[in-house]
Chains A and B, each alone.
Chain A
Amino acid sequence: MERGTLADSAYGRVAKTLHWLVFGLFFAAFPLGIYMHNLKASPEKFELYALHKSIGVTILTLVALRLAWRLFNRPPPLPADTPPLERFAAHGVHWGMYAMLFAIPLAGWAMSSASGFPVQWWGVVTLPDIVGQSRENFELFKELHEIFAFVMLGLILVHVGAALNHHFRRKNSILARMVPFMSIRES
């Protein structure tokens, strides 16, 4: 397939912006989560927790926006010759990532609620608690938060692998249509 046949079906500016914002924020929140988790208790540790939570809630908000945007701005279709199994896998990974991008911050939020730390977003908005305070809730959502984060990491690896495969081996414009400023060659 020749690159460029999907030229008129690239993602729009809003979709691209949201995609890469969430990408960047995820790779800020993830290592920060692991780093802070291993710190000894100190005011600095709490400062990083606050940063992590604010980034996480920002992701939650952006992902909600992305989904809303997507409802009214359908993504460009996959190349017509995409095998059904691949089509299924691509959609599965995409929806899996959306699910995780909701589930991770929600689990984090629940974990905080459970241990009596109402979540503050950049020190501006204090979010209401979403679960009751208890050790059981805390342990449960802490576990889920971690599991979901690693599931997301796995999905991202598959997603990136697939995008690179499209670009370098199949030489189509699947990657280019999501990358800002990357020209989609006209055929």
Chain B
Amino acid sequence: MFRAKIGFVVSALCLLASGAFGGDWQVDTAQSEISAVGTLNGKERTIAFKDYTASIAFDPADLSTGSISIDFDVTKMEDPLDFTGDVVATLMHSSWFDGETIAKASFVSEQIIQGENGDYEAVGTLTVKNIAKPVTVPFRFETIDASSAVAVTDGIALNRMDFELGKGWEFPGYEVGEDVTVKFRLVASRPAQ
């Protein structure tokens, strides 16, 4: 009860804060999804990131004011097929995400530019396992109504070895593909202007 009240006050403050900054978007994490699709013995396997905070400023009319910054807590990932918990536990192992020591991953944009076919591109840095790499995130931006919109990407192609994920995982029987596609669908809103 008390917690719920605090939660209410905090979110009310956030709303006020976002209003104060004009073009800032509030991501509705309950409706949004960020996931990574890899392969295991040739079969697709999806991991969903459940805990992240995004701060997004984006105005299609003026891309120069745009910025995206997302912080992930990688220890809060979910694999819907991980019935025993072994998969996520293994992904927390030091040869994978090393969640115990490095819970944080992030994406920070440097600039947002116009991409092809009306898409946008957030050019920035992805940091996973304390390894930072330049990444370009193509996305579509679709307004739902005056105060809400969706940002969607069909896929950001990454190589997990760039971030030393699964380094040393080289035994036959569980072949994990190096190519990983990150997908997201962010539902966000801001006070109507």
Contacts and interface: CB of A to CB of B under 8 A. Distances in A.
A109 interface: no
B172 interface: yes
Contacts of A120: 41, 172-175
Nearest to B176: A46
A118 B90 contact: no
Contact of B174 (A42, A50, A124): A50
A40 B89 contact: yes
Contacts, number: 69
Interface in A51-96: 51, 53-54
Contacts of A46: 86, 90, 171, 173-174
Contacts of A9: none
Among B85, B89, B95, B172, find the residue whose CB has the most chain A CB atoms closer than 10 A. Answer: B172
A139 B81 CA distance: 12
Contacts of B93: 41-43
A36 to B, nearest CB: 10
A120 B173 CA distance: 5
A42 B168 CA distance: 12
B83 A135 contact: yes
Q: Across chains A and B, which 9 residue pairs bring their CB atoms closest together, nearest first?
A: A123-B172, A50-B173, A41-B89, A116-B81, A118-B41, A41-B86, A138-B83, A41-B90, A120-B173
Interface of B: 40-43, 45, 81-87, 89-90, 93, 95, 168-169, 171-175
Given A54-B173, A117-B174, A135-B83, 16 more contacts: A41-B85, A41-B86, A43-B90, A43-B95, A45-B90, A46-B174, A50-B174, A115-B84, A116-B40, A116-B43, A116-B81, A117-B41, A120-B41, A120-B172, A138-B83, A139-B83
